Amino acid sequence: MKYFDSLMVMLGREPKKPQPQEFTSAANTIHAMKRVEKVDWGALKEHARAHRAQGQKWRNRRWAFLLVINLLFTVSFWLDIQILEGALTASRMLGFHLIDINSALQVLLAHKHIIVNLLIGTGTVIVLWFLFGGRTFCSWVCPYHFVAEWAEKIHLYLVDKKLVTDHTFNRGVRTILWLIFAVLAWVTGYTVFETLSPTGILSRALIYGPSLALGWVVLLLAFEIFYSRRGWCRYVCPIGLTYGVVGVFSPLRVKYDLQHCFHEGDCRKVCEVPHVLEMVKKGRAADAIMDTGADCTRCGACVDVCPSGALKFDVRGLHKLL
């Protein structure tokens, strides 16, 4: 049931508040303890400041990995060393074919028949992102995610100065747009989304040089800076939805430990998809140990800012094997 709920939340449903009968005995015990214990907020704030002073190690690791992967495409092309050939939509790494799942789906719908090589390359990617968590692709590989993070910093600064207002949309819009792009590919015989995807545009620009399509990316960034925080990734991009479905049962997760949480809320402030952290609100966690679900990008921002270690990366079931 939890996997189904995780999928429904990713598709746009708002997280549900657990009913009394849905809380485990362990969670009830911890919630009862938290209702009577006194938190030393002064000490907690001091601890949080000390924690932040240690830096954002997961963000730095993620940025380094993202830049290396995308620059490998460029270096392989310009030096013709055949390490990572092609672009993010379709590539070959040391002889292994890798094809973006969403792009492959668009091609299958447009051509209306199964292409064997497409299935082979897609199968490799499905296994890879099943293991590492579907939407990990978004934060650890996608070049648009990287530039959108910088746009987000500008947006938050402008909001803080009351120069702009952040506008939100229903997250179900992303699911509707996923269906619309699928129908357009089927009806037109053309991969319509690929012409609009900032992921593909930026990947090709890094490898083969800039094109006029970069103007579309600039418009998207302007929209996110002046109107809606991370608007494309949160409310539009079907790539995130496709990879999220692949990662529903992924063993890699961000684990939440209710007992260690002080509910100060810093994690939700930095999260690109804060609905996945609904359980960190006081009284909302239905179990003592939970994970962030299919729509989590595993970016590690919440892990970096959590002062108590309540949020950590974890491989589900690993402790049972050791």
For residue 86, pLDDT over 90 is answered with no
247 burial via Cβ count (<10 Å: 0-12, 13-18, 19+): buried
96 vs 72, higher pLDDT? 72
Tell me how long the chain is. 322
14-55 pLDDT, tens digit each? 998 899 899 999 999 999 988 887 766 666 666 666 666 677
d(CA 156, CA 158): 5
pLDDT at 71 over 70: yes
In contact, 224 and 152? CB cutoff 8 Å: yes
| Average pLDDT of the segment spanning 101-109 | 89
Lowest mean pLDDT among 84-88, 144-148, 164-168, 236-240: 84-88
pLDDT confidence of residue 99: 86
Encode pLDDT of 282-312 as tens digits.
Answer: 999 999 999 998 999 999 999 999 988 999 9
What is residue 45's predicted lDDT score, i.e. its pLDDT? 65
Q: Give pTM, 2 decimals.
A: 0.90
pLDDT value of residue 321: 46
Q: Could you report the per-residue pLDDT of 156-176, keeping only the tens digit for each?
A: 999 999 999 999 999 999 999
Q: Are 242 and 102 in contact (CB under 8 A)?
A: yes
